[in-house]
Amino acid sequence: MANMKFSGSSVKTRILAVVMGTDRHSEEAFASLRAIAERHSVTLIMTQSASKSFGADRIRTATGVSDILVCDKTPSAVELTKGYDILVFATLSINGLSKMASFSADSLTSILAYYFLQTGKPIVVARDGIWCAHFAEPAPGTPAGRRVEEMLNQLRTLGMKITTARQLASEVLWACGDSRAGSVRSGLAVVDKHERVVETTVGTAGKVFQSDAFAARTADVSRGATPSGGACPSSLPSSSGPTLEHTGTADCPHCNPLGKMDGLSLQTMGAERIGVCHPMEKCHAVAHLIDHTLLKANATQEEVGKLCEEARRFCFASVCVNPAYVPLSAQLLRGSGVKVCTVVGFPLGSTTPTVKAIESRDAIANGADEIDMVINVGALKSGNLQLVLDDIKAVREATRGKVMKVILETTYLTRDEKIKACELSKQAGADFVKTSTGFGPSGATVEDIRLMREMVGPTMGVKASGGIRDQETALKMVEAGATRIGASASVAISTGQAEKSGGKY
């Protein structure tokens, strides 16, 4: 999908929104459409089923959109494609999903999707309405759940952005280049100058969205203000102006390396989005960069359940589990904002590109949001760079629309091999480079992180993993350029306590 950005929030983007007759989360979808319509020009198309289920008057009242068409009374799909900049499926039925995934040309909505794809214009899809509200939604690992995830992944592969009804407004405004995207409330948290910005998703776009509220908050920080406006117990002279105050807490922009990250710093680190998360436990801000990891061979369901519960409590970036536990993790973390990460070609990296691609597709169909693949270490050391590149490209093609990290297993590589691995990962379009599996003789080092950051530049993420067991080490990795931390000692790192269990990862 073309990254279509429009200069400045004053430009009104022409948005064509489709409402199908599905009743699950429809009110949330309508609220998102109202938020979009307050900022941009929206024309709404109702399918025949939506006309029967909701009626034009109800949709008009709920969305604030007055320009409403019914499918059988619209202009041609070609004319609609020419007249609008973004296509939005605010509610998507299972029938609509099936037709779009199979490129069926027997309905206006599927033809519209085809034409928008042909012209490279953005398409944003809210997935919540696929299942009828009269029945429980199937779990990700069931046959029905797997089939739907496969079809959604087909849409992602085509370049469509898949989101939720609650996040729909933010995603659409983001596609519009609207500087107010992060301040939209559609049933979720909002970035506000009185709230801490504590979660980032890093690496996929290499760009940072900075809302007005976030700008206000970073301006407060630059003046030495605390989020609560309270007094600081100590201070430090600043060469650039007045004395900058210390809070002595994780919120302090001087005591805490993460507190120094304003919009420009996040952009340099490869951040693509900023969100708000409120942990249930008191913890250091580094928690929100952690992939909470459990990859041992004898991991039990109970341990995975505990892992997911901890990830919710501390607002970790993701849980990283073996592929067999992806469906369970996806179910346990649904609606939490914590991503599900899994591993491919793990831990040796010596399977073929085809096998790694199949593993990736299967994991995504089961609910995985992020894929960490192991590079073909032996091929790299043999100088067979084309095989290494083909290996990474195969997984990249299978994971379009998802975050993909390339594990280099740096412990086995020379400096020149590390540089070449970073170059090939960047060439293949990976989102992150990552140090280690945690199964090698050693893990991440500050020197390796600095080298990897230097090689991939600001448009990719760098993940430090292997042997990170305390907060001090994690922060050194962040200072060196890491934008994600892989660890099993995540709770100890987040709370600053000593690790209780001797996990290797």
pLDDT digits (tens, 9 = 90+) for 67-77: 988 876 666 77
Lookup: tokens for 78? 């070609």
In a domain, 504, yes or no: no
Span 314-341, mean pLDDT?
92
Categorize the per-residue pLDDT at 12 as very low, low, confident or very high, splitting at 50, 70 and 90. confident
Q: Is 463 a catalytic residue?
A: yes
More confident residue, 478 or 219: 478
Whether omega before 347 lies within 30 degrees of 0, making that bond cis, reads: yes
Assess whether 232 and 295 both reside in one domain: no
Query: Are 284 and 310 contacting, i.e. CB atoms less than 8 angstroms apart?
Result: no
Which of 391, 434, 448, 476 is labelled catalytic? 434
* Amino acid type, 330: A
Catalytic residue check, 339: no
At 286-314, the pLDDT tens digits run 998 999 999 999 999 999 999 999 999 99
What is the residue whose two structure tokens read 């089923």? 49
Q: Is residue 6 part of a domain?
A: no
Q: What is the pLDDT of residue 267?
A: 44
Amino acid at 275: G
CA separation for the pair 140, 157 (Å, rounded): 19
Work out how many domains the chain is built from and give that number: 3
Residue 21, domain member (yes or no): yes
Last residue of a domain, one of 238, 267, 296: 267
Q: Are residues 336 and 442 in the same domain?
A: yes
Closest by CA to 291, choosing from 499, 484, 501, 442, is 484
Is 343 strand, coil or helix? strand
The residue from 267, 299, 317 where one domain ends is 267
Task: Choose between 257 and 96: higher pLDDT.
Answer: 96
Active-site residue, from 372, 391, 431, 448: 372
What does the alpha-carbon distance between residue 504 and residue 174 come to, in Å, rounded to a whole number?
39
Active-site residue, 402 included? no
Q: Are residues 380 and 460 in the same domain?
A: yes
What pTM value is reported for the model?
0.53
Q: Which of 167, 182, 197 is the last residue of a domain?
A: 182
* Containing structural domain, residue 225: 189-267
Say yes or no: 152 and 287 in one domain.
no
User: Could you tell me which residues come within 8 angstroms of residue 453 by beta carbon, excluding any fewer than 6 positions away?
Assistant: 462, 480, 481, 482
Tens of pLDDT, residues 424-449 = 999 999 999 999 999 999 999 999 99
What is the per-residue pLDDT for 292?
97
342 and 419 together in one domain: yes
